[in-house]
A and B are shown apart, each in its own frame.
Chain A
Amino acid sequence: MRFLMMLAYRVNYYSGILIYTLNIGVYYFTWQAIYGSQETLAGFTVEQMTTYIAVSWMARAFYFNNLDQEISREIRDGSVAIQFIRPYNYILVKMMQGFGEGIFRLLLFMGPGMILACILFPVQLPTDPKLWLVFAWMLFMSFLINSQINIITGLTAFFIENNQGMMRLKRVIVDLFSGVIVPISFFPGWLITLNEWLPFQAITYLPSSVFTGRIPDGELLGVLAIQLIWFAVLIVPIMLLWRAARQRLFVQGG
């Protein structure tokens, strides 16, 4: 359903791919200049960096969604009240909708976008099929974790009447700390430590690091575990928020 809806807006679709390519471009050129004559920075070679940027942005093309906006809109206009009496779990439905959108994005955004990026920039994709498999799984987990964070942000609309600021703040934090803009290993030490205790690195930094071959095989399981743990941990605040929300639903203008 969501899949078809997005297909209807074809112009947006083409420009969407181009926007991601443009974003890869600006960071590609900037990083090239930053490296200058230096071989490695913070453990990244120039080639790894190029691949990292391309993969990270394209991963974002897949996992990105506006569940937070949708949920808070439904809360504010009151249509969430109907969801309460329906015999299904609202949050699961939202998650599935997001996943439908994600599949669309994967096939029609990320796929073609990745091909375009590989043509335009010297991206080196790994040849090891195992890495591809692991990456695919990690990407799926990225989607889940990112959607969970979105849902949490969206649900705050139950408690704060205007959560626009929250949502924007979340977006900035996710982009910054997930490692799309700067790989986490570039941050100063205390920020790296802080990030190890936050879920955001599981969204982009870890999958992209695995895919660019920066994580040795021995540590692979640990990285996979981090994502799983965060997925499990983030269920808790969603449940709590949802339960608390039922207690105090009041509909603006209702």
Chain B
Amino acid sequence: MYYVGLVSEYLKNYAKTRLTYRADFWIEVISDLMFQITNLIFIFVVFMHTPTLAGWTRDEMVFVYGYFMIPYGIFSCFFNMWGFSERYIVKGEMDRILTRPAHNLFQILLENVDPPSIIGSFVGAILMITAGSQLGIDFGALDILLLLIMIVGSVLIYFGIYTALTSISFYSDAPTGILPLVWNIQNYGRYPLTIYNRFIQVLLTWILPFAFVGIVPASRFLEDKGMEQMALLTPVVGIIAFTIGLTMWNVGVKRYRGAGS
């Protein structure tokens, strides 16, 4: 309950600071969407030249992309720690965070919420519904429940992976280029796994489980994709990734000694 109250307080604060520059909000929304549109255009252009991609039709790919956008939007709304090392460790803002009673990671996440990103999730949902109706998929109540669980699982995977990577800044003070690297690997998760070679398949499934933020859970709702069983693992993988991330974070915070002088 205490945490729920905090969320609303932080959001109110966010609204106050952002309303000064009203236009910025929409600029951010639109430019966020532009990146997604590029990927959609890629899908559409490609399917003008080929009926299927490794056995997937255009509508199926759009459906998968729609799913991909939902957890991604939620994740990027609540996770904006790309400058964590610089802001909190080098400048020592972590000291301020640690003196407060709420969990430190929770505070940092809320300080950096980015509500415009969540619009992407809605666009993703619309894409899923449109492509889904083209494909003749009807969602029963049970499917929707399953979908929600999958989305939570995928969001947890994102959180787990990026929390773990961000917490590296507690262990080493060199600026790491690993975050953008992993961010780019994430793009591999949108396409059917079978197009990659064995090494990438294993990497995407078991090491950096980005297969579970797009193609795998989405295939649960499509027919004959051979991943229906694997899709059910999404929440499990999510919980595992999240636990690893949070543990690395908590251990890392204990090592934090404050900045310099």
Chain A contact residues, CB within 8 Å of chain B: 9, 11-16, 18-19, 22-23, 25-26, 29-30, 32-36, 38, 41-42, 162, 164-165, 168-169, 172, 175-176, 181-182, 186-188
Pairwise interchain contact B175-A9, C-beta atoms closer than 8 A:
yes
New contact pairs (4) apart from A34-B46, A186-B49, CB-CB < 8 Å:
A23-B187, A29-B200, A34-B53, A35-B50
Question: Which 9 pairs across A and B sit closest by C-beta, in order of nearness?
Answer: A15-B177, A165-B27, A168-B31, A33-B195, A33-B54, A172-B34, A12-B177, A15-B181, A41-B49
Measured CA separation A157–B187 after assembly (Å): 32
Q: Which of A36, A169, A181, A186 contacts B48 (CB 8 A)?
A: A186
Pairwise interchain contact A168-B175, C-beta atoms closer than 8 A:
no
Pairwise interchain contact B181-A164, C-beta atoms closer than 8 A:
no
Measured CA separation A42–B23 after assembly (Å): 41
* A11-B30 CB under 8 A given contacts A29-B195, A176-B41, A186-B46: no
B184 at the A interface (CB under 8 A)? yes
What 1/0 mask marks residues of chain B from 242 to 256 whose CB sits below 8 Å from any chain A CB? 000000000000000
Measured CA separation A53–B179 after assembly (Å): 24
Measured CA separation A26–B188 after assembly (Å): 6
B187 neighbours in A (Cβ, 8 Å):
22-23, 26
Chain B contact residues, CB within 8 Å of chain A: 21, 23-24, 27-28, 30-31, 34-35, 37-38, 41-42, 45-46, 48-50, 52-54, 174-178, 180-181, 184-185, 187-188, 191-192, 194-197, 200
Q: Which of B185, B191, B197 contacts A30 (CB 8 A)?
A: B191
Measured CA separation A19–B187 after assembly (Å): 11
Pairwise interchain contact A15-B191, C-beta atoms closer than 8 A:
no
Q: Which of B23, B24, B177 contacts A16 (CB 8 A)?
A: B177
Q: Which of A14, A32, A187 contacts B45 (CB 8 A)?
A: A187
Pairwise interchain contact A26-B191, C-beta atoms closer than 8 A:
yes
Measured CA separation A232–B199 after assembly (Å): 48
Measured CA separation A169–B37 after assembly (Å): 11
Measured CA separation A23–B31 after assembly (Å): 21
Pairwise interchain contact B38-A172, C-beta atoms closer than 8 A:
yes
B41 neighbours in A (Cβ, 8 Å):
176, 182
- Which chain B residue lies CB-closest to A21? B184
Measured CA separation A15–B191 after assembly (Å): 23
B192 neighbours in A (Cβ, 8 Å):
33
Measured CA separation A35–B53 after assembly (Å): 8
- CB proximity of B173 to chain A, nearest CB, Å: 12
Measured CA separation A30–B21 after assembly (Å): 41
Measured CA separation A164–B116 after assembly (Å): 15
Listed A/B pairs (22) with beta-carbon separation below 8 Å = A11-B174, A11-B176, A18-B181, A19-B180, A19-B181, A22-B185, A26-B188, A26-B191, A29-B191, A29-B196, A30-B46, A32-B195, A34-B49, A35-B50, A41-B50, A164-B27, A164-B31, A165-B31, A169-B30, A172-B38, A176-B38, A182-B41
- CB proximity of A81 to chain B, nearest CB, Å: 23
B176 neighbours in A (Cβ, 8 Å):
11, 15
Measured CA separation A9–B187 after assembly (Å): 25
Which of B24, B38, B175 is most buried by chain A, counting CB atoms within 10 A of its CB? B38
Pairwise interchain contact B184-A19, C-beta atoms closer than 8 A:
yes
Pairwise interchain contact B175-A12, C-beta atoms closer than 8 A:
yes
- CB proximity of B196 to chain A, nearest CB, Å: 5
Pairwise interchain contact A22-B177, C-beta atoms closer than 8 A:
no
* A11-B49 CB under 8 A given contacts A165-B28, A165-B30, A176-B38: no
- CB proximity of B142 to chain A, nearest CB, Å: 32
Q: Which of B31, B53, B177 contacts A169 (CB 8 A)?
A: B31
Pairwise interchain contact A33-B53, C-beta atoms closer than 8 A:
yes
Pairwise interchain contact A188-B46, C-beta atoms closer than 8 A:
no
